[in-house]
Amino acid sequence: MKIFPSPLPATLVIASCLGGCVVGPAPRNLPDSAWAPQQRPVAATARSCTAVAPTDLMPAGFVPATALVGGPAPLAPGDRLRLRIAGDNDQLSGVHVIAEDGSLAVAGLERLTAAGLTEARLQRTLGAALVAARLIRPLGPAIDLRLIESAGVDVAVTGAVFAPGVVRTGERNNDNRIGQKEGAASGDANAGANLAAALRAAGGVRPDADVGRIYLLRGARWTVVDLEAAVAGAAIDSIAVTAGDKVIVQSSGCFRADLVRPTAITQPGIRVHMSNLSRPGNNNAGSAIGKDSESLPYGTRLLQGLVEMNCVGGSAMNASRRAVLISRNPMNGQSIVIERAVEKLVRSADRDAEDPYLMPGDALACYDSRAMNVADAINLVSGAFNAVTPAVLLRNAARN
């Protein structure tokens, strides 16, 4: 007589597996964790959209923006200067580099403070020092000091940017060095040492940034710069930055969709984290998720990111897949998890209202549909039967 396994354990296994096929509870979020309009169903709070000026600015130090725009950038550590002295046989003349402490060393003189000065002012200071040391005679224009290469500068950027901190901007590689081979070259235009480049080096301005009032502090002076033209794609004045400058970007408290795209003051692209550990791919590599797919243009929305990670399309059994977006409110540091039905997002006419923009460092994950979960449960039970039946037959054969 053949003995078959009881169907009761199999029924219990199927019931248990199908019990786990229901959609999990909706993600819970703190009331003030949302910051983008599309981050619903969290209740939106009214915002005034008004940025507050920094409290540590001294009114006496204010200067018009024109005082810092268009003129030569102050000298900075690492800048290379060519000094020529009339009648000198290369004892004092030659190429000099401003040291990290901002000083300039010339033979026969104590170190001079050079960083923060213009070429013209440093030339006058150096000339007076050479005359006082009796190294040259006070006869007309005896010295000529020229900048031949400006180095990268360290600038502190704080406030409504994605990566606040001290950034290095205007750094040159060997192919872009000036005056190394030319010899007699004079002057340099370092396109990377400006305010817009410093903002990009700090991750770019956030969508809540008040770009109409960006504060630039230099020593005891400060000014306010309007970069609204950059949002519209228009040209903006090139404001050179120098070592020790501080840039403050205040938050308006409101999300501006027109700032979520590549501009002169935002990043061209972002990196997001993706997980698609689902069928038909049982790992991220099988789902064609790699570093290239995780690098997206700034302005990419959730639905576009889901297409990039292969969460959209395929079998009709997977039509009810769901996806979550894990993000963080940069204004208060609170994380938020948003869940969306993928097919509903594809089919809805008002998808833009439910389709958030992706921000740097966001994470995406996809979950299989109920139908695929049922199929997996059946495969699991079927595999259990295939493993149990040979064991039963072997036990029966041993008894006989």
Residue-wise pLDDT for 264-279, tens only, equals: 999 999 999 998 876 5
Listed in order, the ranges of the chain carrying CATH 3.10.560.10 are 48-73+152-253
Residue 2 has a pLDDT of 52
Alpha-carbon distances, residue 88 vs 92, 128, 370 (angstroms): 7, 17, 86
Name the CATH code of domain 77-149 (choices 3.40.50.80, 3.30.1950.10, 3.40.50.300, 3.30.300.20). 3.30.1950.10
Q: What percent of the chain has pLDDT over 90?
A: 40
CATH T-level fold of 48-73+152-253: Outer membrane lipoprotein wza fold like (3.10.560)
Residue-wise pLDDT for 372-394, tens only, equals: 444 444 444 444 445 445 555 44
Report the pLDDT averaged over residues 166-170.
93
Report the pLDDT averaged over residues 139-146.
81
Listed in order, the ranges of the chain carrying CATH 3.30.1950.10 are 77-149
Q: For 201-210, 324-333, 388-397, which range has the lowest pLDDT when averaged over its residues?
A: 388-397
